[in-house]
Amino acid sequence: MTRLRSLLGASCAVLLVALAGPSPVSAAAPSGDAGPGAVPQVRVVGYLNHVTTRLSDNDARTLFASLISLGLVEAWPYSDYGSFSSGGVRLGNINLEVMGADPEVIPMESFATFAPSMVRGLVAELDRRDVDHGRLEVQREDGRVIYASIQIDDLVSAAFEIQLSAQFVPPHYGPSPVAPANAAGIIDVTSADIYAGRDRRPTLARLMAPIPLGVGMDFGEGPMVNVRSGNGFAMGALHVRVDDVVAARAAFAGIGLPVRENSVTVGTVELVLVAGSAR
């Protein structure tokens, strides 16, 4: 889930000790054996975990309920987290977060959230790569840690942000990367587009290394990521594989979403529909 505006009262060191137990990401520390200017051999980015669309709370609640009505899996229930509300919808191999928030509190319209490949040693590895970042932030519920996230300073704009977030609660969905049968016929997401200009690409390259920055970035889990050239910094489309494009369009239109020939607008995120089969 997307980062909160409330910061940890504890220090980063205390947080890392508290979160050093079992988690869905590796706790291994980086090797740190690469010299200055060398390409890091340790990955700091695990995979693209979720993409967020930010709307008003009423619109977000309606959209979340509509998507779930299609038979899509609930990644996490729509809940109030204080400065924002959020619910997750599973699209096979990635989560779509539907967020409700006041734009004066959270101005970004969309987020791309990557799971880090490590928790212990994460801050040190970002520093070693010369990636400027904020403090670790945590969200707790009923006394347990739900997730910890960190902002990357150069990857934030007025409308879009890329962040790292490690989740510590077992997911509500199974391990299969393919969505179960649903009214829209969604199978999975083949790739996600991100547009980044020259000013953002050096930081992105240092963050993503040793995976080369560009089109077809394969993390081994979740969809591929395409970092495309652009004048701004923005979330592009999710390329969604469906059983039948015409049937998918009809299903999305049936819940009131804007559809075009091969795409649908889900809040602030565009889904490009691609016919395919993996069932």
Cα distance from N-terminal residue to C-terminal residue, the chain? 29
Residue 31 has pLDDT above 50, yes or no: no
Give bridge partners of residue 98 from the DSSP assignment: 53, 87
Residue 136 binned pLDDT confidence (cut-offs 50, 70, 90): confident
Query: Quick one: pLDDT at residue 132?
Result: 97
Q: How far, in Å, CA of 3 to CA of 106, rounded?
A: 10
Question: Could you give the C-alpha distances from 218 to 8, 53, 241, 246, in angstroms and in order?
Answer: 33, 23, 17, 29
Q: What is the pLDDT of residue 243?
A: 97
29's CB contacts (< 8 A; 6+ apart) are: 118, 120, 121, 124
pLDDT in tens, 220-267: 999 999 999 988 999 999 999 999 999 999 999 999 999 999 999 999
Contact 34, 148 (CB under 8 A): no
**27, 84, 109 from 116: Cα distances, Å:** 10, 23, 22
Q: Is the pLDDT score of 3 beyond 80?
A: no
Q: In which band, very low, low, confident or very high, does the pLDDT at 138 lie, cut at 50, 70 and 90?
A: confident
The string of pLDDT tens digits covering residues 57-112 is 999 999 999 999 999 999 999 999 889 999 999 999 999 999 999 999 999 999 99
Rounded to 5°, the CA angle 31-33-36 comes to: 130
| Strands 186-196 vs 233-242: parallel, antiparallel or unpaired | antiparallel
207, two tokens:
């963050």
- Alpha-carbon span 148 to 138, nearest angstrom: 4
Question: What pLDDT does residue 15 have?
Answer: 37
Pairing of strands 110-116, 160-167: parallel
Sorting pLDDT into bands at 50, 70 and 90, what band is 174?
confident
Q: Report in angstroms the alpha-carbon separations of 47 from 31, 103, 107, 121.
A: 20, 28, 25, 18
- Which pLDDT value is given to residue 38? 65
pLDDT at 37: 58
Written as six digits, the tokens of 214 are: 């560009």
